Structure 1
């Protein structure tokens, strides 16, 4: 009996140490594993997205066929029916409209749970990382990892990563008051094996005709284009993209720039204000973690938007300078 008590006592003493050992892994490597798992694993489930008062849920099925690449089908479960079929970054959106089905083909960035960036020096320079406790999410045990910004120009981010597979289970963005302003999390999740693609087709009612939405064209902006510049960028942000987009319904191409700090990105859209057209509305608004600022300067409309604090958006907007 005493031997049993001693063994139980030793076990209870070792349990906290075991927990510490589990949490002593490199959180940066956990983040990198989560980035890979979202692309490499086969899974299906339902996740819930919340930004402010807006809440929506989506069903996802993701399969990686190796050399054939990634395939995903997403179905919006709330509001107007809509489906998205994704192969790599090529996306086709099916949205019923009256008796027709609008087919919108575009290129999009990866969505949840493939939202984590690759491990870069930018990320490490702008954020500190630490491990937290564990929490059961969508039927799986998640290890919390926190990314703390090194300044007030970006948000704090909490991540819950599945301990065995490495898949991201939940992501929450918090403001400087430590309030959750945007989050997305699996409510159901199952890892699956799939060797066919029968599931990869939209669930559309028969008898409806299909209408292709006009596609926008994207062309790189020449490096020698000096009609305008963006100065005094917030520390840690660098330009990663600069193109012109021919957007349907707009008389002039829209210049699009993307600035990135390793995790958060900010887009800047610049277009001439057409003569004879009323001056566009200016102002700012936010939804969840996304802040938007619209201004007019030297005959151009400037729209700056990103998942960063309003002060960061304003600093980038103020840095747009048109060269005479």
Structure 2
């Protein structure tokens, strides 16, 4: 009874000072907390009918963010992020893959640098308060202004403004995926992420993305780009084994990302829609070029973008 009473008192005191915040202000404070606080806990990822529990830790060292996810399921693996460098360690095969990526993005939730920009594409509203992992949370709901992206809800801790839970919903309302802390603790001392020790035991492979280029240098034109989806980067990569060039454009509306890939067509081209949970892709062939649009968006979004792609001549 005392524990419950203490929790209720804590909930009331924590929310009292935040009653006047708008949905955008909640997300602003969450963005800042995610990038500047040291915290750790246990996270459950639910996606495509699979559930995975992982230990999570976030730290900041001299302004540089570091994240670590350690699998609690078999096979054992670990993923770390230091700014935009992502390292995957597969302990069973003694492999380490280091991906040098131009995008700096959290493992927990994609967020734009300015949450106010989300209002171009989403209606942001406060949707009540609940407790997650025995911590008080304000729910922020993001409802798309069109049918080209998914609705979502974010549970924000009212005490330190960290995200406690994120749910993404299909257009018919059923849950597609969820990320949820079952425990979350803040800490004041930054620590170096695990996974860098005994690196000589692992076979290391580096994946370097090419230098970003202006989008007008691309070999294609986007005629149908949904409102709110802005280019993040455009790069030209070369697959080492075949030396085949692959053009890659990444777009984002702040929450969702969509990739456009162009490469030379194989003997048998790929066409049509393919879906896996919240991720949809649409492929088509123009002349000898294979085009694929892939993203965590509804099927009609990738099909719309793909239908509007034309090659530059």
TM-score higher than 0.5 here? yes
| TM-aligned CA deviation for residue 303 of structure 1 | 1.4
d(CA) in 2 for partners of 1:278, 1:97: 36
Would the aligned equivalents of 2:236 and 2:248 in 1 still touch at CA under 8 Å? Answer: yes
Would the aligned equivalents of 2:132 and 2:165 in 1 still touch at CA under 8 Å? Answer: yes
- Which residue of structure 2 lines up, in the alignment, with residue 36 of structure 1? 32
CA gap 1:79/1:318 in 2 versus in 1, 3 angstroms:
farther
Greater C-alpha radius of gyration = 1
> Unaligned regions of 5+ residues in structure 1, if any?
1-15
CA gap 1:215/1:22 in 2 versus in 1, 3 angstroms:
closer
d(CA) in 1 for partners of 2:35, 2:67: 10
CA gap 1:262/1:103 in 2 versus in 1, 3 angstroms:
closer
- Which residue of structure 2 lines up, in the alignment, with residue 59 of structure 1? 55
* Alignment counterpart, residue 283 of structure 1, candidates 249, 252, 272: 272
CA gap 1:311/1:168 in 2 versus in 1, 3 angstroms:
same
| TM-aligned CA deviation for residue 130 of structure 1 | 0.9
Would the aligned equivalents of 2:76 and 2:92 in 1 still touch at CA under 8 Å? Answer: no
d(CA) in 1 for partners of 2:185, 2:115: 30
- Alignment partner of 1:257 is 2:246: no
d(CA) in 1 for partners of 2:147, 2:159: 34
Q: Deviations over 1:97-123 (max 9, x none)?
A: 54x333434335423335322225541
d(CA) in 2 for partners of 1:281, 1:38: 40
CA gap 1:132/1:282 in 2 versus in 1, 3 angstroms:
same
Would the aligned equivalents of 1:272 and 1:299 in 2 still touch at CA under 8 Å? Answer: yes
| TM-aligned CA deviation for residue 23 of structure 1 | 4.2
d(CA) in 1 for partners of 2:19, 2:46: 29
d(CA) in 1 for partners of 2:123, 2:224: 24
| TM-aligned CA deviation for residue 86 of structure 1 | 2.1
CA gap 1:76/1:323 in 2 versus in 1, 3 angstroms:
same
Q: Deviations over 1:26-67 (max 9, x none)?
A: 1110011111111111111111111231221221111112x2
| TM-aligned CA deviation for residue 224 of structure 1 | 5.0
RMSD: 2.7
Normalised by the size of structure 1, how large is the TM-score? Answer: 0.83
- Alignment partner of 1:87 is 2:82: yes
d(CA) in 2 for partners of 1:211, 1:190: 34
